[in-house]
Structure 1
Amino acid sequence: MDTTTRITPTRITPTVWQLPFPVGHVYLVALPGDGYAAVDTGIPGSAPAILDALARLGGRPDQLRQIVITHSHVDHMGSAADLVDATGARVLAGALEAPYMRGDAPEPPVVLTAAERQLHERIMADFATAGVPPLRHVEVDVALHDGDALDGWPEPVRVLHVPGHTPGGIALHLPGSRLLFPGDVIGTAPGGGRPVLGPFNVAREVAVASFRRLAALDVDTVCVPHGEPIRTGAREVLATATPEEDWL
Structure 2
Amino acid sequence: MNKVYPVNVFLIEDNGLTLIDTGFPGSADKIFAAIGKGGKKPEDIKRIILTHAHPDQSGSAAEIGKRLKVPVWAHRIDAEILEKGIGGREPKILGPGILSFFLYHIFIKNSSGVVDPIKFERKLEDRDSIDIAGGIQAIHVPGHSLGQISLLVKNESVLIAADLCANFIGLDMSTVSEDHEVSIESIGKVSRFPFDKAVFGHGNPIMRNADKTMKAFYRKLQLV
Q: What TM-score comes out, normalization by structure 1 length?
A: 0.79
- How far residue 213 of structure 1 moved from its aligned partner, in angstroms, is 1.0
Are 1:201 and 2:177 counterparts? yes
Matched, 1:40 2:26: no
5+ long unaligned stretches in structure 2: none
Contact residue 187 and residue 214 of structure 2 kept, 8 A: no
Match of 1:111 among 61, 74, 93: 93
C-alpha distance in structure 2 between counterparts of 1:75 and 1:106, whole Å: 9
Match of 2:207 in 1: 231
Aligned to 1:143: 123
Given the superposition, is the C-alpha separation of residues 224 and 104 from structure 1 closer, same or farther in structure 2, using an over 3 Å criterion? closer
| SS of alignment partner, residue 23 of structure 1 | coil
Counting matched residue pairs gives: 219
Q: 1:195: how far off?
A: 1.6
**Aligned 1:74-93 pairs, distance under 5 A:** 74-93=55-74
Task: Give the aligned residue type for 1:121.
Answer: H
Kindly report the root-mean-square deviation, in angstroms, between the aligned alpha carbons of the 2 structures.
2.6
Pair 104,28 (structure 1): closer, same or farther in 2 beyond 3 Å: closer
Distance in 2 separating the partners of 1:113 and 1:40: 22
- Give the direction of change, closer, same or farther, for the CA distance of 1:96–1:112 in structure 2 (3 Å limit): same
The question of whether the paired residues in 1 share the 8 Å contact of 2:78 and 2:147 is answered with yes
Q: What is the alpha-carbon distance in structure 1 between the residues aligned to residue 153 and residue 2 of structure 2?
A: 32
Cα offsets for 1:196-232 (capped at 9, x unmatched): 2222110110110001111221111101111101111
What displacement does 1:108 show?
Answer: 2.1
The separation in 2 between residues aligned to 1:45 and 1:244, in whole angstroms, is 39
In the other structure, the counterpart of 1:26 is: 9
| Matched-pair identity in % | 24
Cα distance, 1:141–1:197 mapped onto 2, change above 3 Å: same
Instruction: Decide whether aligned partners of structure 1 residues 231 and 71 sit closer, same or farther in structure 2, where only a CA change above 3 A counts.
Output: same
TM (normalized to structure 2)?
Answer: 0.87
